[in-house]
Homo-oligomer: A and B are copies of this chain.
Amino acid sequence: MTIKQITIIGLGNIGGSIGLAVRNSEMANVTVTGYVRREDAGREALRLGVVDRVSDDLGDAVSGADLVVLATPVSAMETVMQQINPYLASGTVVVDVGSTKVDVNSWGRQHIGPAATFIGGHPMAGSAATGIAGANGDLFRDTVFCVVPEPDTPRSAHRMLEQLLEWVGARPLPMSAPQHDQCVANASHLPMLLASVLVTTVANNPQWDVTSQLAAQGFREMTRMTAGSAEVRRSICSTNKQAISDAIGGFIDTLENYRQHILEDDEELLAMFEDARSARSGWVAMRYPR
C-alpha cells in the first residue's frame, strides 16, 4: 500500500491543517488535492500552501485518490458520500474527521463501496482558530486520533489511516462507534454545551446589566467555547442526541448533588471540591506530561 494522492473535501481549519501537515511531512510523497466550492477559497488554499491543487468538482477532486478525507461539517457528510462514491477508484479508502461516529459510520456503510472502503476517524485536536486562515501543520502533533472501524472494516483501510496519522504526528486510539459517541458526549460535547448554556443563563438574567460589568476572567474562560460554528455544533447534537442527553442527565444529577451540599453547608462539600481538583490534575498529568 502506497498513498500517492490524498483528496481533502472541506478546507476549513481541520481539513486545511491536515493538508498542511501532510505537505510538511518529510515521510509523505503525495499530491494533496482540495475540493472547494468557491473560487476565492481555492486561491486562498493554494496561497497558504495547504494543497497542491484544488478542484470545484467533486468527481474530479476524488478521481485517482488513494485516500479521501471528509472534513465537512457532519451535516454535509451523507450527501458528499453519495456524490463521490461513483468516482472512487477500487481500493480507495474514505475517512472522515467528524465529531460523531454512529451515524457517520452507518452512512459510510450505506453509501461508500463496493470499490472503496469507509473508516471513521476523529482527531481530538482543535484550536480557537477557525477557518483555513488558522490552519496549522502541527495541530495534530502528539494528539489522539480516534480510529473507529466497524467489525468488518478491512485491514487495508486501517493501514491507510494509520499511515496518515503517522504523517501528521497523531496517535491512533481505536474504539467502537457507540463507545466513541458516549465518550465524546462527556469529554467534548457536554463542555461545549455548558459554555453556551452558561451564557444563555447569565445573559438572560434580569441582573445582566450589572453582572456584565463585573463578570471577568472566570466567565470569559468558561464561555470561550461558544465561539465555534453554530452549524457544526448543531450537527454534532443532531447526530449524537441520546448520548448527549445522557451526559446532560449525569451532569444535572451531579449539579443537584453539589447544590444539596451547598444548601446544607456540610463538610462533604470540601471533599467534593478536593476530589474534583485532584481528578483533574491527575488527568492533566496523564494527558499532557512534561
Residue A159 at the chain B interface, CB threshold 8 Å: no
| A205 interface residue per 8 A CB criterion | yes
Given the interface contacts A213-B173, A287-B212, does A193 sit within 8 Å of B258 by beta carbon?
yes
Can you name the residue of chain B whose Cβ is closest to the Cβ of A146?
B214
The reply to whether A200 and B276 contact each other, CB–CB distance below 8 Å, is: yes
CA distance A219 to B190 in the complex (A): 9
- With A183-B207, A222-B225 as known contacts, state yes or no: A124 contacts B255, CB within 8 Å: no
Q: Which residues of A (193-209) have their CB < 8 Å from a CB of B?
A: 193-205, 207
* A222:B220 contact, CB within 8 angstroms: no
A125-B216 in contact given A224-B221, A226-B276, A279-B199 (Cβ < 8 Å) = yes
A273 touching B126, Cβ below 8 Å? no
A83 within 8 A of B: no
Which chain B residues lie closer than 8 Å to A255 at the CB level?
A: 193-194, 197, 248, 251-252
Report the stretch among A28-36, A112-120, A227-235 that lies at the interface. Answer: A227-235
A70–B112 Cα distance when bound, in Å, is 67
Q: How many copies does the complex hold?
A: 2
Q: Is the CB of B212 within 8 A of A188?
A: no
Asked whether A205 lies within 8 Å of B250 as measured between CB atoms, the reply is: yes
A contacts with B, residue count (CB < 8 A): 90
The yes or no answer to A64 lying at the interface (CB within 8 A) is: no
Q: Judge if A110 is at the interface, Cβ distance under 8 Å.
A: no
The answer for the CA separation of A265 and B247 in the assembled complex, in Å, is: 17
Closest to A203 in B: B279
- Interface: A39 (CB within 8 A): no
Nearest Cβ in chain B — how far from A281, in angstroms? 7
